[in-house]
């Protein structure tokens, strides 16, 4: 999966199209991500001993990973992700993520 927790992403389809937010959680087995403030639903809670009042809470639900693209804040553009190998001074090679549109290297 090319998206990681903490990445800035832009939603490219659905009711929240165009929203730029941070990834809170990645679910690689289901190929889904939870994005802050996107796909918010109301969940009804029964009264329990821990929460005697019960009530209604708002919760972010997962969306499919294909519906988001990584976002470059400097260029203000969403982009696909590629991989590139970089060598350091010691000659060690590391694989890094690169935005295809701008060429920006991600951590």
pLDDT by residue (tens digit) across 83-106? 999 998 999 999 999 999 999 999
Provide the pLDDT for residue 107: 78
List the chain residues with pLDDT less than 70.
none
CB 12 within 8 A of CB 66: no
Total-model pTM: 0.85
Provide the pLDDT for residue 103: 93
User: Span 8-78: which CATH code?
Assistant: 2.30.30.30
Alpha carbons within 13 angstroms on the beta-carbon side of residue 55 total: 7
Q: Please give the angle made by the CA atoms of 11, 13 and 19, to the nearest 5 degrees.
A: 30
User: Residues 44-70, buried b or exposed e (16+ Cβ, 10 A)?
Assistant: eeeeeeeeeeeeeeeebebbebebbbb
């Amino acid at each position: 999966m090319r998206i990681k927790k903490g990445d800035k992403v832009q939603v490219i389809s659905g009711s929240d199209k165009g929203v730029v937010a941070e990834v809170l959680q990645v679910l690689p087995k289901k190929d889904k991500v939870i994005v802050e403030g996107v796909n918010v639903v109301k969940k009804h809670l029964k009264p329990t001993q821990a929460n005697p009042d019960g009530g209604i809470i708002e919760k972010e639900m997962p969306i499919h990973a294909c519906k988001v693209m990584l976002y470059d804040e400097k260029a203000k553009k969403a982009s696909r992700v590629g991989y590139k190998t970089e060598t350091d001074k010691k000659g060690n090679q590391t694989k890094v993520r690169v935005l295809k549109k701008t060429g920006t290297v991600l951590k």
